[in-house]
Amino acid sequence: MLPPFSCSTALGFKAFLCISIYIYTDGLTGSMGWGDLGVFGEPSKETPNLDQMASEGMLFLDFYTANPLCSPSRAALLTGRLPVRNGFYTTNAHARNAYTPQDIVGGIPDSELLLPELLKKAGYISKIIGKWHLGHRPQFHPLNHGFDEWFGSPNCHFGPFDNRALPNIPLYRDWEMIGRYYEDFKIDLKTGEANLTQIYLQEALDFISKQQASQQPFFLYWAIDATHAPVYASKQFLGSSQRGLYGDAVREIDDSIGKILKHLQKLGISENTFVFFTSDNGAALISAPEQGGSNGRFLCGKQTTFEGGMREPAIAWWPGHIPAGGVSHQLGNVMDLFTTSLSLAGLQPPSDRQIDGINLLPAILQGKLIDRPIFYYRGNEMMAVRVGLYKAHYWTWSNSWEEYSKGIDFCPGQNVSGVTTHTQEEHTTLPLVFHLGRDPGEKYPLSFASNEYQRAMEQISVIVQQHKVTMVPGEPQLNVCDKAVMNWSPPGCEKLGKCLKPPKSDPKKCFWPH
């Protein structure tokens, strides 16, 4: 007898099933943006499966990530906690984005309780397919943090490397590596061809079939990364999009999601499956248009706490439960998927720690609107907060003049004087306030002297004060880097003859320019 729900997830897509499925789109330099889906207005209309998913389920227009960069947002998704609480931030410099490159020493702390660990209490089997990105050292392995199966990589698919200065990134099946990117799992940087999305799709279909056959509730976290630079797509999708290689990758992801949903229907378990699709951060405009996506009308992109960096495409799908064609203005966050998943499984969130995610089921199933703020963090700093339709910026920063002068532009063609600043500007005395209903592009701050500004700040100030009083930051995990901890000799390398000799340990403070 299946419990009422289950989950699985993927690229910019999250989902739950009696079995649960989350689909998470990825990118350090190429995440899927709010404007990449036809249902959100992308003019080429090349996402028919996601558009159909939205027509059969519920579209969230005001859904956010917990951080404008990949690793912290994933840590938030799986813990239900802001990165500044779960340790996925840095104190090496003020308000800097940090993640988990190969030389990072830290990772997800043992003290954090991840969603798959908790779902075990309800009998769930959990699998992650794709990028983990919460630490690559043995103690941070996903099977040490609740997952039962893993097929994918611990880091981004950067490379190829020479295996002397830097090792190529490994791919794992469960506890052991089965090869390395560019050596055993090819990515052609000239053409963009790679078969990884097809491999990840088959892994998802096989896992779902296996669990259905054994009447086993499951959680699938499908965290593919084809839209992360270097962008890739399989041969059958190359050249198929009007949008170039990035569009090819989006089309393949869309096709894969369609196949997953049809598979659930074929197995007769779609009405017992909650599926959620979203992204880990906004599109990386620095690599657009060939290797980056679109954030629609929103300001800037990945790495920033403007709307383009943190507002995400989001779709909930659960036939027979979610009314078809629903559109929600509920303020949502990836952290809510943690609490919502537990509720679907009949579990309560941990009571011994602050959980930032809320249960979205009243919004999804009953159309209710839950009053809650959205906090925009960049590293160790709360940059902004949204309350209702008002967003107050306490700090503004795109990136430094030094980085900008090198051609690194997170807001190409979108300079807004006094807003997209290249120095860190503090506004804590008089925050910049925007009405996101009238001004979703954050171009026209309210006048400080206006009654509207005063009324908005009266409400916002109380919420920010309460938040800061209760904030207890976790031990920062992204401060120390050491080339000796790279993927030189992952578990299983002996069997493959792929062990490499690490350099002498030389731990240093990581440098985070953004």
Task: Please indicate if the annotation marks 103 as binding a ligand.
Answer: no
Q: Are 238 and 191 in contact (CB under 8 A)?
A: yes
* Count of residues in the chain: 514
Burial 438-466 (b: 16+ CB within 10 A, else e): ebbbbeebbeeeeeebeebbeebeeebee
- The catalytic residue positions are 70, 133
Q: Where are the alpha helices (DSSP H) in 332-433?
A: 336-344, 361-366, 401-405
Task: Please indicate if the annotation marks 195 as binding a ligand.
Answer: no
Beta-carbon count within 10 A of 234 CB:
21
Q: Which amino acid is at 247?
A: G
In eight-state DSSP terms, residue 261 is H
Q: Are strands 6-10 and 19-25 parallel, antiparallel or unpaired?
A: parallel
Q: State CA 262 to chain mean position distance.
A: 24
Task: Please indicate if the annotation marks 481 as binding a ligand.
Answer: no
In eight-state DSSP terms, residue 36 is G
Give the relative orientation of helices 48-56 and 245-266 as an angle to the nearest 10 degrees. Answer: 40
Q: Are 82 and 378 in contact (CB under 8 A)?
A: no
Which residues, in sequence order, are bridge partners of residue 59?
315, 327
Burial 388-421 (b: 16+ CB within 10 A, else e): ebbbbbbbbbbbeeebeeeeebbbeebebeebbb
Tokens of 224: 């593919």
Q: Which amino acid is at 260?
A: I
Q: Are 153 and 168 in contact (CB under 8 A)?
A: no
For tokens 């990581």, name the residue: 510
| CA–CA gap between residue 247 and residue 291 (Å, rounded) | 9
Q: What is the DSSP string of 280-325?
A: SS---GGGTTTS----TTSSS-TTSSSHHHHEEEEEEE-TTTSPTT
Name the binding residues.
Answer: 70, 280-281
